[in-house]
Each structure stands twice: as C-alpha cells, then as structure tokens.
Amino acid sequence: MLKFLAAGSVDYVMLAIIGVMLVLIVVMFLKNRSSSGDGNIEYAKRLETEGNFLKAKQKLLAALKTPKFKKYGLSDVYDALSSVEFKMKNFDDAEKYAEEALMRNSVDTVALVMLGRVQSEKGDSQKAIEYFEKAVQIKEEADTYILIAMEYAKLADPKSANIAVNGAQKLKYPKIREIRKEIKRIVLQKGKGAADVSDEDEDI
C-alpha cells in the first residue's frame, strides 16, 4: 500500500513538473514573439484601432530595431508608422515613412496610396492622383479608384471622375450612387461641369 502511494506521489510530482515546464515554454514563446517584432506590430495595429496613436508609434519604432525587421519586413513597419502619423495629422512624418516603405518595396501600394492621401491633405490633387494611379496600375482596388474620383472632382473634372468611379464599380464597390452624388456636389461647389456627372450606375 505504501509503495502504491509512493508511486502515485511520484506520478503527481512528475505531472506537476511537466505542467510547470509547459507554462514556462509558452511564456518564453510569447516573450520571444513580442521581442521579435511580430507582437509589436500586431499590438500596435490594435492600439491604432483603439486610437492610442502614441503608444502604437512607440511599439512600431521598437519593431524597427529588431534584427528580423531590419532584414525582411521594414516596409510593413514603415507603412504602419505612416498610417499612425497620418491619423495624428503629422502629414510630413506620414509622407517620410511612406517614402521609406516605398524605397524598400517599389510595388508597395499601401505606401503609394498613403503618399496620395498626404498630397490630398496638402491640397495638391494632381500629385495625389499620380500616386493613386500608380497604385491601381500595380493592384486595382475599388477604394483607390474612389480616391482618384474625389481628387478629379476637386479639380472640377467630372468626366475623369466618372471614369474612376466606373473602375470602382467594376470591382463591386457597394456605394456607387452615393459617390456619384458626392462628386456632383463637389463639382457644383466649383461652379462648373456638374451636368457631366452621372447619377446612374454604369451597365457592366
């Protein structure tokens, strides 16, 4: 009986030791993941979504210093930094980080769109359109076509705006009618060309 109890006690001790070891392994894995930069980026994106931009920026700057991202994923980190700075209305810094991303990945459409959005905020619609059009040449996105359309509306060019909206429609953008009405409103504010804006969806 005593031998049985002793054997059972040993089994419980071994199970406890194994349990502690598994917990330590999980903790070390999570710690390494965070220090490698992966955790920083995902956490930073969550912080950005929550509106905690300063803390998100700190996490992303920390990710830039990790060996993994120095070698492979810097464009993603710079894209994320650019987004945070843009939401903080630090447009010069947003532009700087987007350019850093583009230097490391010449087909980075996220960076191109961000550069276009920065130019739009600075009041240069023509330059914004150039960046947006470069992005859709690489990868067609309905949202980018809408950005192009809005910039053409600001330039009182409803025909070009309509062409861009048609591009978004072909990619199944869900609010085409609302966008066409908004373009007409913007063009009317400019005082010309509103009759050239279609309220109807194009047949495709």
Residue 133 and residue 144: Cα distance in Å, rounded?
Answer: 8
Nearest CA to 110 out of 56, 67, 73, 150 is that of 73
Instruction: Provide the residue type at 131 as one letter.
Output: Y
pTM: 0.75
pLDDT, one tens digit for every residue, the chain (204 residues): 545 445 555 566 667 677 667 766 544 544 444 444 445 788 888 999 999 999 999 999 988 887 766 655 789 999 999 999 999 999 999 999 999 999 999 999 999 999 999 999 999 999 999 999 999 999 999 999 999 999 999 999 999 999 999 999 999 999 999 999 999 999 998 876 555 555 555 543
pLDDT for the residue numbered 8: 54
What would the DSSP string read from start to end of 91-126? Answer: HHHHHHHHHHHHHH-TT-HHHHHHHHHHHHHTT-HH
Angle, CA of 26, 30 and 31, to the nearest 5°: 115
pLDDT for the residue numbered 42: 84
pLDDT for the residue numbered 17: 73
Residue 204 and residue 199: Cα distance in Å, rounded?
Answer: 15
pLDDT for the residue numbered 187: 92
pLDDT for the residue numbered 88: 96
Tokens standing for 167?
């591009």
pLDDT for the residue numbered 18: 76
pLDDT for the residue numbered 190: 82
Q: Which CATH number describes the domain made up of 39-127? A: 1.25.40.10
